[in-house]
Amino acid sequence: MSRTLVLASTSPYRQQLLRQLGVPFAAVAPVGDEVIDQQVAPELLVKHLALQKANSIRDRFDDALIIGSDQVFVDPRGRILGKPGNASAACRQLKMMAGHTHVFYTGLAVVDCRSGQSLVDYVPFSVTLRPLTAEQIDYYVAEEKPWDCAGSFKIEGLGISLMERMEGEDYSSLIGLPLIRLTTMLAECGVDVLSPRPNVCR
C-alpha cells in the first residue's frame, strides 16, 4: 500500500465495511453539516454530500486518498430523507415505509490529495419492506436503536427481518459504503486492494 487512505467518517458501519478490503486506513470526522436539499435530485445530492465530506478534511493531508460517502432515500411522497436521529422519528419512518418499495442512494467520492483529482459516483439500491404492525416496529427500534441509519434499519442485523425484497448491484451500498464501486475507484487511483502487502499471512 503506497498511499495513505483516509475515510472521512466516524460511522462504525462504514469503518467495518472498509475493513473488509483489508487495507489500512485512518478514520477522520468530516467538517460541516449535512444539508438535505429537497430541490436537488437524490443521486446528485448524495454525490455532492460525499464529495463535500471528503473535501472538508482535504487540507489536512498532502498525499492521501480521502474517501467520502453519504446516503439518503426517497419516501413514497418523493421526499428525500436521511437519518431519523431519534427513536420516535425512526418509528415514524418505518411505519411510513412498511409495505412499500424505497430506493436508497449512496454517494461515493475519492479525492486524491496528490493530483487534485476527484472521482464521484452513486449507487442505488431498492428495498421493499413487508407490512409491519406498530408493535413489531416498536420492538425493532427498541432492540437495534437504528436512528443513526438512513431508513431506520440495520440490514446487517435484525433489520433483515423487515424486508420482503431487496434489489441492487451491491448490498454494501445499503449499509453505507459501496465496496464494489470503491474498489474500482481505488484502482483508478493506483491502489489495488488485491496487491500483495507485507505481513499478510499466506
Is residue 55, in this structure, part of any structural domain at all? yes
**Residue scoring higher pLDDT (179 or 195):** 179
Render pLDDT for 79-97 as a digit per residue (tens, 0 to 9).
Answer: 888 889 999 999 999 999 9
Is residue 193, in this structure, part of any structural domain at all? no
Indicate the pTM of the whole model. Answer: 0.89
Residue carrying C-alpha cell 434489489: 167
Is residue 127, in this structure, part of any structural domain at all? yes
CB 114 within 8 A of CB 62: yes
The residue segments making up the domain with residue 49 are: 4-188
Verify whether residue 70 is a known catalytic residue: yes
Is residue 119, in this structure, part of any structural domain at all? yes
Q: Which one of 33, 37, 62, 70 is the catalytic residue?
A: 70
Q: Which CATH number fits the domain that encloses residue 37? A: 3.90.950.10
Is residue 78, in this structure, part of any structural domain at all? yes
**Which distant-in-sequence residues (6+ apart) come within 8 Å of 150 by Cβ?**
71, 72, 73, 81, 82, 83, 104, 176
What value, to the nearest 5°, has the Cα angle with vertex 80 and ends 77 and 85?
Answer: 115
**Residue scoring higher pLDDT (133 or 78):** 133
Number of domains in the chain: 1
Render pLDDT for 37-49 as a digit per residue (tens, 0 to 9).
Answer: 888 899 999 999 9
